[in-house]
Amino acid sequence: RYFGKETRPLAKLLQYASDPLIPGVSGREDTCVSFLQELQIELKAGDAWRTWVDLEKEEKRRILSAIIQMLLSKGFGYKTATRVLGATYILCKEEEGTELHEAKEFATLLNSTARYGQYEVGLQVCLGDRGKWLKEALNLLSGHRQNLVEGLQCARDEQIQKRTYLQYFHAGNGIRDTIIGIVTNMMLNTEDVDKELPLIGFALTENGEVKVSARAAQSLVDRGLDLAVALTRAAKEIHGIGGGHNIAAGATIPKGKEEEFLQLLEREIQRQFVP
């Protein structure tokens, strides 16, 4: 189920692996390389880095078995361990090993056009252009990835502030409000963050409001957490708006109301955890 099977080098695929995280492996490229080398997986074919789609079935089986065994040995349940496996949607008419062949990677390509206001680019790629417009989309994707790397570093620099029922960071103008949700999700899947608390990210918008993004581990949702309900109620009390899903939600609130919002949000989360 991990993202990037078509285009990410194997070590990068595991480095950014989430849902579930690979304990002791995810988040660090050096440990990912060591993990693969211990399984006798060749990382390169000639001068090219190998991706998941380049592997033989036996190599894939070795990696999957090792990940599942590692999760089980670290105390993760069968349900969590088997989340490594899941449906993958392939666009059979597209070239293997490209950003177009697997649906999640194609969606990310399109996402990188719309998030920067380049709607025409994404539309033309959907309509079948594989020349000029696809090239422009790939350029936007490259820029999008760089923005995410810089955004993740910004979030780390701001440091995570922990409270009883949540943890948060405020990026100010350091992260675009259009990607604060992605960065918050990436941050949740690093070693810097406590997985027992939902993570809240703040970023300023161009019109002077504050964009809020919230993410949580599946284990918290299984215990009753619903971020959409919590953010909607907390934002409404300070004349903001919120919504989303139980595991991932967002809100827009007035600038200067962040502290009040956090207090309200903690109250809502506490209610969900304490019957």
Tens of pLDDT, residue by residue over 15-27, are 988 778 888 888 7
* Residues 112 and 209 both lie in one domain: no
- The rounded percent of the chain whose pLDDT value lies above 70 is 99
Greater pLDDT, 226 or 77: 226
Greater pLDDT, 59 or 21: 59
* Residues 136 and 182 both lie in one domain: no
* Residues 171 and 138 both lie in one domain: no
Count of domains observed in the chain: 3
What domain range is 118 assigned to?
A: 103-151
Q: Is residue 33 part of a domain?
A: yes
Greater pLDDT, 113 or 75: 113
> Which residues make Cβ contacts (< 8 Å) with residue 56, sequence separation at least 6?
none
CA gap 60, 183 in Å, rounded: 29
* Residues 178 and 260 both lie in one domain: yes
Q: Of 55, 84, 113, which marks where a domain is finished?
A: 84
Please give the structure tokens belonging to residue 190: 């690093």
* Residues 77 and 50 both lie in one domain: yes
Q: Say if residues 218 and 232 touch (Cβ distance below 8 Å).
A: no
pLDDT value at 46 more than 90: yes
* Residues 190 and 269 both lie in one domain: yes
Please give the structure tokens belonging to residue 225: 């957490």
Please give the structure tokens belonging to residue 215: 């993410």
- Residue 40 DSSP SS3: coil
> What integer is the mean pLDDT of 13-41?
90
* Residues 178 and 268 both lie in one domain: yes
Q: Say if residues 233 and 268 touch (Cβ distance below 8 Å).
A: yes
The CA–CA distances, whole Å, from 143 to 8, 114, 132, 155 equal 16, 13, 17, 18
- Residue 159 DSSP SS3: coil
Condensed to tens digits (0 to 9), the pLDDT of residues 136-167 reads: 999 999 999 999 999 999 999 988 999 999 99
* Residues 30 and 52 both lie in one domain: yes
Please give the structure tokens belonging to residue 272: 């969900």
* Residues 245 and 165 both lie in one domain: yes
Strand order from edge to edge, sheet including 161-162 = 161-162, 167-170, 199-204, 209-215, 248-254, 241-244
Condensed to tens digits (0 to 9), the pLDDT of residues 194-208 reads: 999 999 999 999 999
In eight-state DSSP terms, residue 160 is P
Q: Of 151, 173, 207, which marks where a domain is finished?
A: 151
Give 103: exposed, middle or buried? Use CB within 10 Å, 0-12, 13-18, 19+. Answer: middle
CA gap 205, 163 in Å, rounded: 25
Q: Is residue 41 part of a domain?
A: yes
pLDDT value at 275 more than 70: no
* Residues 181 and 250 both lie in one domain: yes
Condensed to tens digits (0 to 9), the pLDDT of residues 83-112 reads: 899 999 999 999 999 999 999 999 999 999
Q: Is residue 1 part of a domain?
A: no
* Residues 140 and 229 both lie in one domain: no
Which among 201, 172, 171, 196 is positioned nearest to 261, based on CA atoms?
201
